[in-house]
Amino acid sequence: DGNAPPLTPPCQGGGQDGIMPLLSNEENKEITPPLSKGGQGGVSYVCELKIDGSALALTYENGILVRGATRGDGVSGEDITQNVKTIRSIPLKLNLDNPPPVVEVRGEAFLSLAVFEEINREREKTGEQLFANPRNAAAGTLRQLDSKVVDKRRLDFFAYTLYLDAGNEQNTQWDSLELLQTIGFKVNPNRKVCYSLDEVREYYEFWDTERRNLPYMTDGVVVKINSVLLQKQLGFTQRFPRWAIALKYPAQEVPTIVEAVTVQVGRTGALTPVAELKPVQLAGTTVSRASLHNGDRLSELNLHIGDTVIVRKAGEIIPEVVRVLAELRPQNAQLFQMPSCCPECAQPVVREKGEAVTRCINTSCPAILRGSLIHFCSRDALDINGVGEKLVQQMVDSNLLTSAADLYDLTAERLMGLERMGKKLADKLVSAIAQSKNKPYSRVLYGLGIRHVGTVNAQLLTERFTNVEDLATVSAAAIEGVYGIGPEIAQSVSQWFRVPANQSLIARLKIAGLQLHSEIKSQNLADINLQFAGKIFVLTGTLPTLKRDEAKDLIVKAGGKVTGSVSAKTDYVVVGEDAGSKLEKAQSLGIKILSEAELLELLVT
């Protein structure tokens, strides 16, 4: 979803991050960041409509369209370049005399309401399942394997961001939009430069009603600081730029009834109450469940079974219970409270003082085991394709799996005893598991599911402690020495390695042949390239000739470092086919972006 870089949601009342308070509260004249740096002194804003479709990143090399990518982490993303080429509003060739070697264009692919309805009429005739809404239809179409089908679906495209080489940059966002238009893109005509926040507010309010007359769906307005120089000065806070914001129109709210509340048990043992709702149509989808988060939220809502509640889709995506209409409560309705026993294993649950979550602490709770296994196999961890919820359920129930290490003892024959498991699937699975043995140490560490060790902290830890033995034997105090790791996390890690079951898990994974140490061992000094020394690289997408591991090797050998996620500390992002969120983040952080060719060139110099 969304326009341009990820943007802050409208501020929820508090008012440090958005200009939403200005829009909803006339009295609040205080100008708040991120857009506060101007408004008077000649600072201008560009307002654009936020089209509800699917974000697309296009790469042009020497003026020719070579890649089209949606989001994703790019590791296993599909090639949608062929599909993108069927979109008529995307030029195959830039209308530019001397095109820079690489041009990146971002924009929104969408289906007009008319085309959407036409497609659904057609599908109704042929008895196919109807699309729920234009956004889903557009996203689904882009992933279609047969580009002829895509061609027929008549996708449209509005460009909104242009990235040129340094030196070729435009001075303002407005100029970028104009240039996009002259080089052959469709740019949404309903854009405007505003010179004050009052003007921005006017624009927002005008389109709140006017958008209903547009032939495509919009869900808000994007406001950007016009000056590129100022954008750079403002920079970025956390996940978002300080110079842009999305102002979303209020979500549609609808009443429904809570038929029941179920409690789910996550991999950490956390108990999450979920409202089972009488299904309602909302923002083009059917909503039947909504998270209630935790015990605190639950008591705040004072929710009873059978209550009528107001639900909405936060950001048009996530169902949320806004409030309970207590006056409509049936008599004798039962208050729902967090259970005192785990719904999976019936052991008593605990809630630590000062913490919001209620947890099952039974080390052999099957729900926790299942969750841990799913996490271990997940994409950011060992990326074992084909292992999903149902399969894990089956394998745990049939005692095929009692820990992640058991995965590496599985054979096709043993798997084929399971339901719906033929030779083909079983072979695929065994091969996927074998492949995971090559995944780097940091991913394995992440996959272990140690509390507070996500992708970032796993990376930090593996950099400092280059093999598990060190990490397992070192004191909590030593772990705390890592920048970014404090006492809580250090304690959590240290304790994890002191549990005998975990120690034997590590031992077995080691025997299975998993990577439990970083490869950056003895470095050949002669290979070190000054341009690479200490530089942090991130790879994204499928590179044209190199395998990911090969590219990583080359960088590491040259003295560089390859990490998994883009942050402010990243120096270069190497982009391949179907680059996803990392490219996007890199762009929004202004990090230097390299193609494979450029990387290789840098290596030889």
Partner DNA sequence: GCCATCGGTA
Partner DNA sequence: GAGAAAGGAG
Partner DNA sequence: CTCCTTTCTCTACCGATGGC
Closest CA to 321 of 253, 405, 264: 253
Q: Is residue 323 near DNA by the rule CB under 7 A?
A: no
Cβ neighbours of 55 (radius 10 Å): 23
Phi, psi torsion values for 565, nearest 5 degrees: -130, 150
DSSP secondary structure string for all residues of 421-458: --HHHHHHHHHHHHHGGGS-HHHHHHHTT-TT--HHHH
Closest CA to 155 of 177, 131, 173, 176: 131
> Where in 561-590 is the site for DNA (CB under 7 A)?
567-568, 580-581
Looking at the Cβ atoms of 172 and 242, the one nearer to DNA is: 242
Facing residues of 172 across strands? 227
Closest CA to 377 of 439, 425, 321, 307: 439
Query: Cα 328 from chain centroid?
Result: 38
> Where in 331-350 is the site for DNA (CB under 7 A)?
none
> Where in 163-192 is the site for DNA (CB under 7 A)?
none
d(CA 390, CA 395): 9
Q: Which of 29, 37, 50, 437 is catalytic?
A: 50
> Where in 379-438 is the site for DNA (CB under 7 A)?
379, 384-392, 419-426, 428
- Closest contact distance (angstroms) between CB of 209 and DNA is 23
Q: Is residue 456 near DNA by the rule CB under 7 A?
A: yes
Cβ 243 vs Cβ 19: under 8 Å: no
Q: Is residue 111 near DNA by the rule CB under 7 A?
A: no
Looking at the Cβ atoms of 62 and 144, the one nearer to DNA is: 144
Cβ 577 vs Cβ 76: under 8 Å: no
Q: Which stretch binds DNA (CB under 7 A): 200-208, 316-324, 434-442, 532-540?
A: 316-324
- Closest contact distance (angstroms) between CB of 3 and DNA is 10
Cβ 104 vs Cβ 57: under 8 Å: yes
Query: Contacting DNA (CB under 7 A), which of 15, 100, 306, 315?
Result: 315
Query: How many chain residues interact with DNA (CB under 7 A)?
Result: 103
Q: 534 is written with which tokens?
A: 């200490």
Parallel, antiparallel, or unpaired: how do β-strands 218-225 and 45-51 relate? antiparallel
Query: Contacting DNA (CB under 7 A), which of 154, 304, 437, 452?
Result: 452
- Closest contact distance (angstroms) between CB of 227 and DNA is 21
- Closest contact distance (angstroms) between CB of 511 and DNA is 25
What does the buried/exposed string (b/e) look like for 109-128 if buried means 16 or more CB atoms within 10 Å of the residue's CB? Answer: bbbbeebbeebbeeeeeeee
Closest CA to 496 of 536, 547, 543, 450: 450
Q: Which stretch binds DNA (CB under 7 A): 188-196, 333-341, 478-486, 519-527?
A: 478-486
- Closest contact distance (angstroms) between CB of 48 and DNA is 16
Q: Which stretch binds DNA (CB under 7 A): 42-50, 126-134, 205-213, 496-504?
A: 126-134
d(CA 399, CA 393): 10
Q: Is residue 488 near DNA by the rule CB under 7 A?
A: yes
Looking at the Cβ atoms of 171 and 262, the one nearer to DNA is: 262
Torsion of CA 382, 388, 390, 393, to 10 degrees: 10
- Closest contact distance (angstroms) between CB of 174 and DNA is 24
What does the buried/exposed string (b/e) look like for 445-459 if buried means 16 or more CB atoms within 10 Å of the residue's CB? Answer: bbbbbbeebebebbb
d(CA 103, CA 328): 58
Over the window 72 to 91, marking each residue x when it contacts DNA by CB under 7 A and - when it does not, the resulting string is xx-xxx--------------
Query: Contacting DNA (CB under 7 A), which of 22, 382, 490, 516?
Result: 490
Query: Contacting DNA (CB under 7 A), which of 4, 22, 225, 287?
Result: 287
Looking at the Cβ atoms of 288 and 466, the one nearer to DNA is: 288
Query: Contacting DNA (CB under 7 A), which of 324, 404, 453, 538?
Result: 453
> Where in 260-279 is the site for DNA (CB under 7 A)?
264, 266-268, 270, 272, 274
> Where in 137-166 is the site for DNA (CB under 7 A)?
137, 139-141, 143-146
Looking at the Cβ atoms of 174 and 204, the one nearer to DNA is: 204
Cβ 44 vs Cβ 171: under 8 Å: no
Looking at the Cβ atoms of 215 and 486, the one nearer to DNA is: 486
Closest CA to 528 of 555, 495, 503, 491: 555
Q: Which stretch binds DNA (CB under 7 A): 200-208, 221-229, 233-241, 527-535?
A: 233-241
Query: Contacting DNA (CB under 7 A), which of 171, 237, 435, 473?
Result: 237
List Cα–Cα distances, 402 to 179, 405, 407, 408, 514, in angstroms. Answer: 59, 8, 9, 12, 18
Q: Is residue 546 near DNA by the rule CB under 7 A?
A: no
- Closest contact distance (angstroms) between CB of 463 and DNA is 13
- Closest contact distance (angstroms) between CB of 100 and DNA is 26
Parallel, antiparallel, or unpaired: how do β-strands 349-350 and 536-540 relate? unpaired
Q: Which stretch binds DNA (CB under 7 A): 202-210, 402-410, 436-444, 488-496?
A: 488-496
d(CA 196, CA 202): 10
Annotated catalytic residue 521: no
Q: Is residue 132 near DNA by the rule CB under 7 A?
A: yes
Looking at the Cβ atoms of 99 and 266, the one nearer to DNA is: 266
Q: Is residue 6 near DNA by the rule CB under 7 A?
A: yes
Q: Is residue 29 near DNA by the rule CB under 7 A?
A: no
Q: Is residue 439 near DNA by the rule CB under 7 A?
A: no
Active site residues: 50
